[in-house]
Amino acid sequence: MSLFMMSRSFQRLALAGVLASAGLVIATGPAEAGDTNKPARTVPVRLLSLNDFHGHLEPPTGSSGRMVDENGATVEAGGAAYAATYLKQLSNKNTLKVAQGDLIGATPLISAAFHDEPAVEFLGKVGVTTSAVGNHEFDEGYAELKRIMYGGCHPVDGCSPAGEWKGAKYDYIGANVLLKRNNTAAEKKALAALGQNSASLRALLKDYGIPALPPVSIRWMNGVPIGFIGLVTQTTPNIVTAEGIKDLEFIDEVKAANVASRLLKMVGVKAQVVLVHEGDQVTPNQSPDACSAQPGAGNRIATQVDAEIDMILSGHSHQAYLCTVTDPKGNQRLYSQGGSFGRVISQIDFQVDTRTRDVVRSSVVADNHVVTRTVTPDPEISAFVQTWKDRVSTVANKPIGKISADITNTAVASGESPLGNLIADAQLAATKTGGNAQIALMNPGGVRASLTYAGSPAGEGDGVVTYGEAFSVQPFNNLMQVVTLTGAQLKTVLEEQFVGGPNKQAFTKILQPSSNFTYTYSAGAPWGSKISDMKIDGVAVTDTQTIRVAANNFLVGGGDAFDTFELGTDLWSGPLDIDAFAAYFAANPVIAPPVPNHITVTP
């Protein structure tokens, strides 16, 4: 019997079965018992979503812990216990909770010290059912992501204090994350498992490729299936360490979404929601309910994916907005995002027609709720967070040095920041011996928080920097490396900071230089002619000389589209970046904020 001659409900189960046997699991929630009475014309569904949580179990601090609310006021926001309270208050019997990726990775020490198992456990506790993968889900590689998804103790560090990890209680999905095409054995196995009676499905998968993750998740609510399609930014290979994803490819988000939509339609799922870890920037200081998104990569996806898809919930850019966009058939659909760090919960209410099983788009109503700290924190989650805080406190509260004033990651006009320069100096000091480094360069996206002079509630005192605070600054556990570049190659690396080159930089990313390295760039010059007057310790750099350049393994592997780093020779690997940072504090009794004046900007 052909797959397409089966009943709709059996089609769904059969397709899930053949895909599972091929290693291509479609995650499915339990179907609800049918009502013997005639079904209502429409049934309600509520989605509660969050994105870019980044393991912020404790309330985020500084600017990361503030949000502009619906009234234009800037309020303190975020924290797992407060988010849990909001999720409970906003939930009803029609609710599904979902997320748009970066739930883990680049996390505070309370979660990162245990490979983010605490953050994933929290999200399961509050009822998240499905999440797209974000780029940070791949920070420790594909194998580690699968461990987080399915369970098992960490292969190096073993089990956490909570015991053997049981796996995430929610589905991670990523329709545009595929096994590389050279993995012919996996492809043949998957296609063979589909059998002889699934020609259309075989053709679809042969053109599409073999998913490395479940592409979709099907959840039932009030007797109707809701299909979720997971997507992650196609730029992921440029912004995570290459070694961990060497067996994967990340294809165009629109192409993958359209294939996943067809898979859902094959099994009769017409109410379709994209959870995409890609988004847009906004006009600053707008209400989270405003359509302040400036059309970019997220808008392209939201407007171009198949018209069968009813709404697009986004992430990645850490902004909050509620927009209506037009699909390829001219119909309107929701395009939204909910900030970051648990500071916003997005609520989307809509009706599903029980006869067509499709979303009634005119019924869609969305609201971004700022997670203020004026509500009572959820007691169960408060106790849960305190347990993990206690477990990590010995390490987190250990003083490693002192600062004389705030050292911020806020960039000046040149693109440098005091903290970025400090980290580069620390990395140079850690790589001179052994690696023979002459300069160091730090990627700005890896500087995640500022160092503040005021003491924290842990009681370490003003000016004292703890290991936990240092870890919050650069939480990736990247390896320090040194490579040899020619002067001409170093100049090209600096040209690659700007848009317009063959490396396809999405936006300007100014590398943070060690204090002994200076240069000039022209803002108005064409790409390839922007950089001049490079000097090391005051001596001009020539095109032909060789230079030992220190950077983390993310940059050395070509991360952030700095392709020329991959041409480096004589690779040397040293300490972890956080250890280099801590060692610099130990060697310098009191550190003053560096002056970010190593880059000169001309018209």
pLDDT band at residue 9 using 50, 70 and 90 as cut-offs? very low
pLDDT at 198: 60
What pLDDT is attached to residue 23? Answer: 45
pLDDT at 226: 97
**pLDDT, tens digit (0-9, with 9 covering 90-100), for 99-117:** 999 999 988 899 999 999 9
- The verdict on 233 and 343 lying in the same domain is yes
107 lies in some domain: yes
Q: Percent of the chain beyond pLDDT 70?
A: 89
Residue 182 has pLDDT above 90, yes or no: no
Quick one: 416 and 320 in the same domain?
no
Examine the domain organization and report whether 336 and 419 are in the same domain.
no
Could you write out the DSSP letters of every residue in 436-505?
--SEEEE-GGG--S-B-SSPPTT---TTEEEHHHHHHHS-S-PEEEEEEEEHHHHHHHHHTTSTTSTT--
**Mean pLDDT computed over 252-271:** 95
Query: What's the CATH code of the domain at 447?
Result: 3.90.780.10
Q: Containing domain of residue 594, as a range?
A: 397-602
pLDDT at 36 exceeding the cut of 50: no
pTM of the model: 0.82
State the distance between the two ends of the chain, measured CA to CA, in whole angstroms. 71
- Out of 7-11, 275-279, 518-522, pick the least confident: 7-11
**Tens digits of per-residue pLDDT, 411-441?**
999 999 999 999 999 999 999 998 999 999 9
> Sign of torsion, CA 291 297 302 303?
positive
pLDDT tens for each residue of 518-544: 999 999 999 999 999 999 999 999 999
Between CA 561 and CA 563 the distance in angstroms is 5
Please report whether residue 232 resides in a domain.
Answer: yes
CATH number at residue 47: 3.60.21.10
Cα four-point dihedral sign 564, 567, 570, 574: positive
* 136: in domain: yes
Q: Are residues 410 and 267 in the same domain?
A: no
pLDDT at residue 281 above 50? yes
pLDDT-derived band at 241 (thresholds 50, 70, 90) equals: confident
User: Do residues 253 and 340 share a domain?
Assistant: yes
Q: Is residue 385 part of a domain?
A: no
Confidence band, pLDDT 50/70/90 cuts, at residue 39: low
Between CA 400 and CA 467 the distance in angstroms is: 6
The mean per-residue pLDDT over the stretch 435-459 comes to: 93
Whether pLDDT at 361 is above 80: yes
Structure confidence at residue 18 (pLDDT): 43
pLDDT in tens, 70-102: 999 999 999 999 999 999 999 999 999 999 999
Quick one: 341 and 205 in the same domain? yes
Pair (209, 269) in one structural domain: yes
Same domain, 341 and 405: no
Structural domain includes residue 69: yes
Beta carbons within 10 angstroms of residue 168's beta carbon: 21
Q: Would residue 391 count as lying in a domain? A: no
Same-domain check for residues 357 and 313? yes
The residue that leads in pLDDT, 554 or 375, is 375
pLDDT tens for each residue of 318-346:
999 999 999 999 999 999 999 999 999 99
Number of domains in the chain: 2
Ranking 28-42, 152-166, 432-446, 521-535 by mean pLDDT, the lowest is 28-42
- pLDDT exceeds cutoff 50 at 7: no
Q: Indicate the pLDDT class of residue 251, thresholds 50, 70 and 90.
A: very high
Q: Is there a domain that residue 594 lies in? A: yes
Residue 30 or 277, more confident: 277
pLDDT score, position 217: 95
Q: Read out DSSP for 362-379?
A: EEEEEEEEE-BSSSPPPH
